[in-house]
Amino acid sequence: MKEESKKISEGIQNKNIAEEKQQKQKFAILLKNSINKYGNIYGELIANGKVKIGMTKEMCKAAWGNPFNINKTITANNVMEIWNYINRKLIFLNSKLIEIQE
């Protein structure tokens, strides 16, 4: 019985190690692609799911995904968008991130 339990435990541990290795490989690919597309600073932030003032809407979408709702205000000189996520908001002025509300 002990031997069988030990084999099961080793199997679970090996599975967890394999899954962790696979996650690290996926992240490495995401990081590389993000850096190639957006540069070192923004690429690393995006790969880690972070946003920063000055990012474009495309960058923010790459980092956080699609918002569940967008409110848009258009004036003679500007376009303001508020992207709503669960418990957070991104505010853009003329397609540049100007405010993060968390």
Residue pLDDT, tens place only, 47-93: 999 999 999 999 999 999 999 999 999 999 999 999 999 999 999 99
Structure tokens at 51: 């946003």
The radius of gyration of the chain from alpha carbons, rounded to an integer in Å, stands at 20
Question: Whole-angstrom Cα distance, residue 23 to residue 34?
Answer: 16
The whole model's pTM is what?
Answer: 0.81
Q: How many residues does the chain have?
A: 102
> What's the pLDDT score for residue 19?
87
* Mean pLDDT for the stretch of residues 88-102: 97
9 vs 76, higher pLDDT: 76
Structure tokens at 99: 């405010």
Going by pLDDT thresholds of 50, 70 and 90, the confidence category of residue 8 is low
Interacting residues of 65 by C-beta distance below 8 A, sequence separation 6+: none
